[in-house]
Structure 1
Amino acid sequence: MKIYFLSFILAFAMSFVTTPLVKKLAFAIGAIDVPDDKRRIHTKPIPRLGGLAIFAGTMASLLLLLPKSHETIGIILGSLVIVLLGVLDDKYTLSAKVKLVGQIAAALILILSGIRIDWISNPFGSGVIYLKSWVAISLTLLWVVGVTNTINLIDGLDGLAAGIAFISSTSLFIISLLNGRYATAVISIAIAGASLGFLPYNFNPAKIFMGDTGAMFLGFLLSAISIQGAIKSATAIAIVVPVLVLGVPIFDTLFAIIRRILNKRPI
């Protein structure tokens, strides 16, 4: 258990220490959330880019504690694409199409590294159903892009997205341990530590927002480890439980979309 403790502490400390530095960087480059409509809860400009601290904490644990397997490298490279996309969006407000292209590119990196949904459990009996390659790739793309945007859409209240990421990653950590997926367990507990390290700055009233940088990064990483650590495992619980864990933000997203449609607001 020593490696998991180190992963958590390292990610927590790095995230906690770097968040004030990221706050200064956000002000310096103008990545600021300005309250310019009635939907904003805060009344003064708040820096974005807080996700950079979460990214730094998580990556510190991954780079120092995990062997450089194809899957690990795929997760790191995909995360870099997502974080770069998030930083640009926090600064310049990218279009939905540009973000979608970037998210698909990151998802394809995961797929090329071997992280994809190759099979599903048989709903009509025992065993599993192996998917054709094009089905596996399509399903993985939908899952990764969907979960990435799910966390992004729910990031509307102080501490909400980071709190959900902490709960989800802690649950996925336990599931990974039960199924012998130790690399996934290290990543999961690193996400938990980095999210917790950021939370003191993000509780109401927030001193900094994680921005799209953090929300998309957390969603991307949660989608990746839920595939790597659970859907490839051989037991039903490793498939069902992560879906239930991630189902909390998914249902919240659906309700958020419905509310915005009913109020004739942009999604």
Structure 2
Amino acid sequence: MLHGLAAATTALVLTALLAALLRTLTLRYGRTGHTTPHLGGVAVVLATLGVACAGPLLGVAELGEGVAPVLAAAGAVALLGLVGDLRPLGVRIRLGLRIRLVAQAGAATAVVTAAGLSPGAGALAVLWIVCVTNAFTFLDHCDGVMGAVAAVTALGLAVCAIAERRPGHGLLLSVLAAALTGFLLHNWHPARITIGDCGSLFTGFLLASCAVTVHAGEPGGRTGAELFALTLVVLTDTLLVLVSRTRARRPLLRGGGDHIAHRLRRLGLSAQGSAVVLGVATLGCTLIGLQIHDKRLAPVAALPLALMVAGAIVLLLRVPVYGPDARRRTPRARTPANPAASSTSASTSASIDIAGGRS
């Protein structure tokens, strides 16, 4: 317990310090073309990997069975995201996206193989890991949203890992949650730095891979219902965006102000309020997932959640996000005193969601 608390505290402080340093260096020397530095994910990755690997090196804690493959694969995915942050894909978006998905599938396959899943269950697990990884990339569009949702999800999965007698995974997920909290100190509205592809891909992949590894011994309906609840908010946001752009005949990978947080803002919530609402919603879904995991709720308890998702999507689709109606209903944001700290949460510029960049 003391080792876990010390590790989490170290990750939080280290991420906060690294994020501040990276922001200063990027503003002084960087030529990324972004008003707000977008390399905050590097701080999350370095703090998480550094603290997780420090335990075995110092002899105070062990990684535990199955943690090393997850860390290695997540680190590889983070490097892939960092390349995208430093060298935007631009017109090579389709080729770059294919390469990224193949690399993610390869990393997920390594994790699933190490977990010992059967070929059928392993194929489904790989697909799920890739989907969740990119869903978290989609979620990096408004100040504080991705960090809040991911931190709550990581804590929920940490509880599951400890209950399944996998303390190594529990410690790793706790360290990730703490690192994300330290990052939120700089990413809360108005954001001074964003997480970028490096951090969002690393976070999504690590969460999904840990979830698969922790539940590898008991695949089935209960596990599926639990994981559905734990990732409900991030997957709902992705589904909403895909349905909305398909209906509007817009390119699926082209960014826009059509995520849940954007629609909540057009309904009158502030940027901070939107992040809080999504964080609280994630907490509620996480608690239901934990109840399913502890067998206090039957897997059928996920069915009302699915119905709520369908209803929420139908209602949110009625909020105008494209064209002049959306511009008239978009709340006017205050301009920060420091232009370099301006938030991108209400931006509807033409950027790429899944392949890099906030919309």
Aligned to 2:43: 53
Aligned to 1:109: 110
Aligned to 1:17: 17
The structural deviation recorded for 1:100 is: 1.0
Consecutive unaligned residues of structure 1, counting only runs of 5 or more, are 34-44, 119-132
Q: What secondary structure, in the 3-state scheme, does the structure 2 residue paired with 1:16 have?
A: helix
What is the rounded CA distance, in whole Å, between the counterparts of 1:233 and 1:89 in structure 2? Answer: 36
Q: What secondary structure, in the 3-state scheme, does the structure 2 residue paired with 1:197 have?
A: helix
Q: Which has the larger radius of gyration?
A: 2
Structure-to-structure mapping, 1:62-101, within 5 angstroms:
62-65=52-55, 66-67=61-62, 71-94=66-89, 95-101=96-102
- The answer to whether the 8 A contact 1:58-1:194 is kept is yes
What is the rounded CA distance, in whole Å, between the counterparts of 2:125 and 2:219 in structure 1? Answer: 18
- The answer to whether the 8 A contact 2:64-2:168 is kept is no
What is the rounded CA distance, in whole Å, between the counterparts of 1:70 and 1:227 in structure 2? Answer: 14
- The answer to whether the 8 A contact 2:135-2:235 is kept is yes
Aligned to 1:248: 233
Q: What secondary structure, in the 3-state scheme, does the structure 2 residue paired with 1:156 have?
A: coil
Structure-to-structure mapping, 1:132-147, within 5 angstroms:
133-147=118-132
Instruction: Note if 1:8 corresponds to 2:14.
Output: no
Instruction: Note if 1:173 corresponds to 2:158.
Output: yes
Aligned to 1:123: none
Label 1:20 to 1:177 Cα distance change in 2 as closer, same or farther (>3 A): same
- The answer to whether the 8 A contact 2:64-2:166 is kept is no
What is the rounded CA distance, in whole Å, between the counterparts of 1:214 and 1:259 in structure 2? Answer: 26
CA deviation string 1:112-144 (max 9, x = no partner): 4x136x2xxxxxxxxxxxxxx431331121011
Label 1:77 to 1:206 Cα distance change in 2 as closer, same or farther (>3 A): same
- Amino acid paired to 1:101: V
What is the rounded CA distance, in whole Å, between the counterparts of 2:230 and 2:71 in structure 1? Answer: 23
What is the rounded CA distance, in whole Å, between the counterparts of 2:211 and 2:53 in structure 1? Answer: 20
Name the TM-score, length of structure 2 as normaliser: 0.62
Aligned to 2:316: none
- Amino acid paired to 2:44: I
The structural deviation recorded for 1:231 is: 4.2
Label 1:137 to 1:234 Cα distance change in 2 as closer, same or farther (>3 A): closer
Aligned to 1:31: 32
The structural deviation recorded for 1:266 is: 3.5
Aligned to 2:187: 202
- The answer to whether the 8 A contact 1:181-1:229 is kept is yes
The structural deviation recorded for 1:230 is: 3.0
Aligned to 1:121: none
Kindly, what percent of the aligned residue pairs are identical?
24
CA deviation string 1:187-220 (max 9, x = no partner): 1101110000000111111111101111111000
Q: What secondary structure, in the 3-state scheme, does the structure 2 residue paired with 1:47 have?
A: coil
Structure-to-structure mapping, 1:230-241, within 5 angstroms:
230-233=215-218, 240-241=225-226
What is the rounded CA distance, in whole Å, between the counterparts of 1:57 and 1:64 in structure 2? Answer: 10
- The answer to whether the 8 A contact 2:71-2:206 is kept is no
Q: What secondary structure, in the 3-state scheme, does the structure 1 residue paired with 2:115 have?
A: coil
Tell which deviates more after alignment, 140-149 or 87-96.
87-96
The structural deviation recorded for 1:236 is: 7.6
What is the rounded CA distance, in whole Å, between the counterparts of 1:115 and 1:30 in structure 2? Answer: 41
What is the rounded CA distance, in whole Å, between the counterparts of 1:24 and 1:260 in structure 2? Answer: 37
What is the rounded CA distance, in whole Å, between the counterparts of 2:107 and 2:149 in structure 1? Answer: 22
Q: Give RMSD over aligned pairs.
A: 2.2
Tell which deviates more after alignment, 192-201 or 252-261.
252-261
**How many pairs does the alignment contain?**
240
The structural deviation recorded for 1:70 is: 6.2
Label 1:103 to 1:24 Cα distance change in 2 as closer, same or farther (>3 A): farther
